[in-house]
């Protein structure tokens, strides 16, 4: 019987130059502190020796074109490429120098997809979508030079219609947990993104975060109040700039009723940063 052997969530622009340029020395220092913590977390993750690593993250209108935007998408296939983009913006410069290809855990990915559809989840599948910073900045920070286990990339659509609800994301996480429990594999699960930034997705409000909202959310995860988390509305997420919490909600469903342990929390102003682990062992 399989089990989840490690679970964590963390902000996903782990790139000091970005914050140095856009926030200043204070931002650079804060993300460097976060990176040091994520590297420590990576040692725990590596020690857990998972057969597969499920990574739950969002697309920044970078991978899926307007031909089709999936609400929830499982990456299938045998390998996945790092996104390569000419003149990459600052976010994606964090990927420069990383391996160009990563293995996919095909059996787990296919099980999540096919059993999900049988269970009523209209998951999309992709055989070709590459991974941007939302996936690889955390993965590369966690693993450093150590080998990365086969991945199961799982996209949650956070910014444009059709976004799934918080409750639906949590249910998708419960589904992932059931697939893992029924399978033969040990699995790690990480969710990425957040905390609050880009409120209302308004260019005029870049530079603002919502620390009151973030403190409340972190407390809810520490106390394991998942009912309150699944009750979050699209309006609350949009107004506070917490769109990417949908990724975290999938993870919460996968680990519920486990409580979070805060490894890092920092209020930068432009974006609030965090890294949390869940006691799943």
Partner 1 sequence: MSRYETNVLLYRLKKDAAFRDRFRADPRQALAGADLSDEEREAFVRWDARKLNDLGGLLHLLISIPGLGSH
49-88 positions binding partner 1, by CB under 8 A = 60-62, 65-66, 86-88
Instruction: Name the nearest CA neighbour of 81 among 126, 138, 15, 143.
Output: 126
214-253 positions binding partner 1, by CB under 8 A = none
Question: Is the Cβ of residue 132 or residue 277 nearer to partner 1 in the bound state?
Answer: 132
**What tokens appear for 177 in the block?**
């947990």
Assess 212 for contact with partner 1 (CB under 8 A). no
Assess 22 for contact with partner 1 (CB under 8 A). yes
CA 98/CA 160 separation, integer angstroms: 29
Question: Is the Cβ of residue 85 or residue 223 nearer to partner 1 in the bound state?
Answer: 85
Assess 208 for contact with partner 1 (CB under 8 A). no
Assess 203 for contact with partner 1 (CB under 8 A). yes
CA 143/CA 109 separation, integer angstroms: 21
Which of 36, 84, 117, 160 forms a contact with partner 1 (CB under 8 A)?
Answer: 160
Assess 204 for contact with partner 1 (CB under 8 A). yes
CB of 208 to partner 1, least distance (A): 13
Measured between its terminal Cα atoms, the distance across the chain in Å is 14
Question: Is the Cβ of residue 159 or residue 265 nearer to partner 1 in the bound state?
Answer: 159
Which of 79, 81, 128, 202 forms a contact with partner 1 (CB under 8 A)?
Answer: 202
Question: Is the Cβ of residue 200 or residue 222 nearer to partner 1 in the bound state?
Answer: 200
Question: Is the Cβ of residue 70 or residue 183 nearer to partner 1 in the bound state?
Answer: 70
Residues at the site binding partner 1, with contacts judged by CB under 8 A? 22, 60-62, 65-66, 86-89, 91, 159-160, 198, 201-204, 206
């Amino acid at each position: 019987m399989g089990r989840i052997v490690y679970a964590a969530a963390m902000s996903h622009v782990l790139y000091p130059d970005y914050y140095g340029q856009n926030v200043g020395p204070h931002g650079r220092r804060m993300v460097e502190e976060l990176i040091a913590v994520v590297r420590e977390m990576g040692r725990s993750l590596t020690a857990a020796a998972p057969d597969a690593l499920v990574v739950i993250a969002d697309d920044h209108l970078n991978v899926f074109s307007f031909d089709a935007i999936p609400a929830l998408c499982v990456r299938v296939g045998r390998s996945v490429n790092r996104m390569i983009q000419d003149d990459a913006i600052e976010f994606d410069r964090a990927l420069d120098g990383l391996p160009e290809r990563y293995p996919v855990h095909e059996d787990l990915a296919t099980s999540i997809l096919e059993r999900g559809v049988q269970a009523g989840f209209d998951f999309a599948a992709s055989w070709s979508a590459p991974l941007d910073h939302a996936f690889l900045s955390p993965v590369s920070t966690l693993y450093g030079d150590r080998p990365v286990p086969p991945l199961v990339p799982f996209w949650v659509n956070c910014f444009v219609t059709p976004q799934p609800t918080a409750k639906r994301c949590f249910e998708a996480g419960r589904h992932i947990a059931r697939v893992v429990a029924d399978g033969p594999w040990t699995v790690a699960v990480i969710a990425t993104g957040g905390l609050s930034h880009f409120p209302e997705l308004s260019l005029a409000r870049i530079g603002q975060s919502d620390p009151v909202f973030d403190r409340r959310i972190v407390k809810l995860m520490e106390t394991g109040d998942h009912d309150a988390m699944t009750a979050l509305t699209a309006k609350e997420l949009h107004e506070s700039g917490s769109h990417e919490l949908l990724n975290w909600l999938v993870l919460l469903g996968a680990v519920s009723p486990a409580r979070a342990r805060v490894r890092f929390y920092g209020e930068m102003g432009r974006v609030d940063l965090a890294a949390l682990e869940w006691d799943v062992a």
